[in-house]
Amino acid sequence: MARITESPGTEPPPDSPVRQRRKEARPGELAAAAIEMFIEKGFAATRLEDIAARAGVSKGTVYLYFDSKEALFKAAVEAGIIPALEAGEALLAENGHPADVLLREFMRRWWDLLGDTPLGGLPKLMLAEVRNFPEVAAWYHERVILRAMRLMGAILDRGVAQGVFRAVPPESSVHVLFAPMLTLLLWRHGFGCCGLGDMPPPQQYLDDAVDILIHGLAAGSAAGVRP
């Protein structure tokens, strides 16, 4: 599982002086520790001291880099998203494939690059805290969600243009295409992580989902379906 920065869990390797100087690295380590805990327990239930502990520093140190718990929250979310956005851009460049192939490829790479990462918990966190952090949510909506939707919309359009997909209502369809991905994420960071879940392995699930969706969108699939 990819790590946001090099693991904050493994203690500063050989030199173990407690008081370290890492001005450069600290904000990143703290932000990483923070999102992980916020994702786990939610904003309110996460104690600043625990974040500090997970990052291997003391309570006061957090305030050398962030003005408040809220500021840390915002910074952690935004910092966590940057790799996500960049990874998304890279996928955008993908070209030439027929839309159905592209869609399958898109989901697979999304899973490896984002879904299967601590950041995969972000949607759950944002969902839980929209009401408490409308500005952060708005930012996330604009920078992440809309962007992703536009990307998916482009794939869909291309498919229709290529004659690979039939004409479906674009807005609804984009949401439907994202639904299994979102569900997978939420499951994983929700019920799935307490021994509860019972779900096929992610890759398998995504492939199965893409299969149903592609069949559902396929140009020739209308025959014999009741309206």
Partner DNA sequence: CATGAATGAGCATTCATTCAT
Partner DNA sequence: TATGAATGAATGCTCATTCAT
Sorted by sequence, the CB contacts under 8 Å of residue 34 that are 6+ apart come out as: 46, 51, 55, 72, 73, 75, 76
Q: How far is the CB of 132 from DNA (least distance, A)?
A: 11
CA distances from 193 to 156, 190, 197 (A): 33, 6, 7
Q: Interaction with DNA in 68-107: which residues (CB under 7 A)?
A: 68-70
Indicate which single residue of 13, 17, 96, 201 sits in contact with DNA (rule: CB under 7 A): 17
Q: How far is the CB of 74 from a second copy (least distance, A)?
A: 16
**Under the criterion CB under 8 A, does residue 188 sit at the interface with a second copy?**
no
Q: How many CA atoms lie within 13 A of 101 on its CB side?
A: 6
- Contacts of the segment 216-223: beta carbons below 8 A, 24+ positions apart: 217/100, 217/156, 217/159, 217/165, 217/166, 217/168, 217/173, 218/100, 218/164, 218/165, 218/166, 219/163, 219/164, 219/165, 219/166, 220/166, 221/166, 222/166
Query: Which segments within the chain are labelled E, that is strand?
Result: none
Q: How far is the CB of 95 from a second copy (least distance, A)?
A: 18
Q: How far is the CB of 13 from a second copy (least distance, A)?
A: 27
**Under the criterion CB under 7 A, does residue 36 sit at the interface with DNA?**
no
Of the ranges 9-17, 48-56, 111-119, 199-207, which one interacts with a second copy (CB under 8 A)?
199-207
**Under the criterion CB under 7 A, does residue 21 sit at the interface with DNA?**
yes
Q: Which of 55, 117, 51, 47 is nearest to 82 (CA)?
A: 117
**Under the criterion CB under 7 A, does residue 59 sit at the interface with DNA?**
yes
CA gap 191, 41 in Å, rounded: 13
**Under the criterion CB under 7 A, does residue 226 sit at the interface with DNA?**
no
Indicate which single residue of 128, 143, 147, 154 sits in contact with a second copy (rule: CB under 8 A): 128
Q: Which two tokens stand for residue 61?
A: 């140190």
**Under the criterion CB under 8 A, does residue 137 sit at the interface with a second copy?**
yes
**Under the criterion CB under 7 A, does residue 178 sit at the interface with DNA?**
no
Q: Which of 172, 161, 120, 166 is nearest to 2 (CA)?
A: 120
Nearer of residues 53 and 182 to a second copy, judged by Cβ: 182
Residues lying near a second copy in the complex (CB under 8 A): 40-45, 98, 100-101, 124, 126-132, 134, 137-138, 141, 145, 168-169, 171-173, 175-176, 178-180, 182-184, 186-187, 190-191, 193-194, 196-200, 204-205, 208-209, 211-226
Binding site for DNA (CB under 7 A): 15, 17-24, 26, 46-49, 57-61, 63-64, 67-70
